[in-house]
Structure 1
Amino acid sequence: MSSENGPPVGEFDPGRDNIYGYIPSKGVAITMIVLFGLSTATFVIFGEIIRRLGSIYSRLSPVRYTILFCTFDVISLVVQGVGGGLAATADPATNGRHPDTGGNVMLGGIAFQLLVIFVFCCCALEFMIRYLKDKPLRAAQPSDEKHGSTERGQLTGKLKIMLLALALSTACLFIRAVYRTIELADGWTGRIIGTEVYFNVLDGAMVVLAIYTLNIIHPGCFVFTPVKQEEEA
């Protein structure tokens, strides 16, 4: 027995029984899980670059970069997770909850993450401009020594490559955050959330590109190599 405009009664209808409006590709999902599981990481790397080039050019110490931005990132992920849980368990017919509530919570979380990435980019850009123009924010103090070099460090070839890789990685994460913000703002029935290719390319692929950029241009080789060892090489 079938309905007039749909599949047989009792059979799964992606448009009716799935908030995405399509059946996600299992192959793509498995691939992304494997790739995500093999790699992680960004704020710690830039903090180490600040140590090498001079903390006097930065508004935040390397330690504060790690603590503040990592904490904000975790908060945004927790909020997104809570929103996803609310949306997944919502059923107006049984518990009186609508998926829109969870969607709005997720939107708040991803919008916050987008803001965090934007602020990080502004801080990083200001640091590089001040370093290149040799305009420190303050005079070096004895207390600055624990945060890294108090003088203008050398921007080596390896650090230049690392900065370019970090910029590409951050840009990918920013694109992903913009996409997710627009996707959730468009609603559960919007065209964006209902198109799998957008999700695969602008979400999954962007994260994979971001994290694997930093695996290829590995900070262990391009940042954390001791200065003396790098000069000898």
Structure 2
Amino acid sequence: MSDDHENQYHYTPTLWIGILFLVLFSISGILHILEALYTRLWFLLPTVVLANIGEIIGWSGRVWSSQNVFANTPFLIQICSTIIAPTPLLAANFVILGEVIRRLGQKYSRLSAKAYTFVFLACDIIALIVQAAGGGVASSADTDGKDPSSGGHIMLGGIVFQLVAISVYMLLATEFVLRYLKDRPVRPALVAAVGPRTLDTRMRLMLFGLGLSTLAIFIRSIYRVVELADGWDGRVISTERYFDWLDGGMITLATFTVNIFHPGLLLGRGNRWFGKHIDASGTSSRSGTFAEDATVVEPKRDNGPGAKV
């Protein structure tokens, strides 16, 4: 993997597949920009929009490689970009779940909404830095005609760290939803139990979309761990259909899921997020603390037929 006379893919990337993913990520990215502007959820711009831009760059590299499979530059562009690009998308999911926790009741979560978002965003940033550093080391080594495996190992470490963070995130999110539905707060003294709770349709759709998007990224991360652990000349990295389905396909599913189950359309526009509310004068204000933020929406409890509201 040291010169322009070696096929670093061990196959020739299929041109039409590369173009297909370029079109899909372009469509999703444009939709995300329009949705972010309409709903005024500005955090979506440096997260899901940035992720789509990264995927567009990565798949452009694969299209380039389909025309010149022996060139180093497009190979390095695609492998670094497609490894790093989903990280901002995952960050958006962390922010969205923090808002869901804030609205449904932080007493059911082991962390406050702000702490939850802060902790997992920090993990995401660390993973991004490690993966980017690994990509830089691999690219530099390959340019100098050296073995890029050390850079690959660094990228692998970043993805493993990210995979662990996703796993913890999914476990805590599942526990939160179950505690909410069963009305079993983490801190029972804060509230009296009054029976099971229900979710409205919009919140159910938001949780479904959030779960599907996160699951797709999780599957993709497992694939990437196996791919890099198998080595630059391994069977996994040398099989195009694995990459197309388990990387491109999963991230396409994840980003379009956020398009369809959009947080701004299901949870409200930006002036209703992050503890904000609109007072009688139309002024936005903010409430809550790091330890225990105020809940924006407190859904009604379902106490059975005939219960007074």
Q: 1:29 to 1:214 in 2, by over 3 A?
A: closer
Tell me the residue number matched to 1:22: 11
Letter in 1 for 2:263: P
Tell me the residue number matched to 1:140: 190
The counterpart of 2:115, out of the listed 64, 72, 79, is 64
Letter in 2 for 1:73: D
Residues 28, 259 of structure 2: 8 Å contact kept: no
Tell me the residue number matched to 1:223: 267
For 1:69-148, list aligned pairs within 5 A.
Answer: 69-91=120-142, 94=144, 97-138=146-187, 139-140=189-190
Residues 43, 66 of structure 1: 8 Å contact kept: yes
1:153 to partner: Cα distance: 7.5
- Matching of residue 198 in structure 1 with residue 255 in structure 2: no
Relative to the length of structure 2, the TM-score reads 0.60
Relative to the length of structure 1, the TM-score reads 0.78
Residues 181, 198 of structure 2: 8 Å contact kept: no
Tell me the residue number matched to 1:188: 232
CA distance in 1, matches of 2:213, 2:151: 29
Mind listing any 5+ residue stretches in structure 2 that lack a counterpart? 33-47, 49-91, 273-295, 301-309
Aligned length: 205
**Aligned CA-pair RMSD:** 2.8
CA distance in 2, matches of 1:31, 1:23: 20
CA distance in 2, matches of 1:186, 1:31: 30
Mind listing any 5+ residue stretches in structure 1 that lack a counterpart? 1-10, 142-151
Note the alpha carbon deviations across 1:94-138, whole angstroms, 9 max, x for none.
56x421101100110110110010000011011111111111011
Letter in 1 for 2:22: I
CA distance in 2, matches of 1:67, 1:114: 17
SS at structure 2 position matched to 1:102? helix
Report the identity percentage. Answer: 47
Q: Looking at both structures, which has the greater relative contact order when contacts are Cα pairs under 8 Å and sequence separation is at least 6?
A: 1
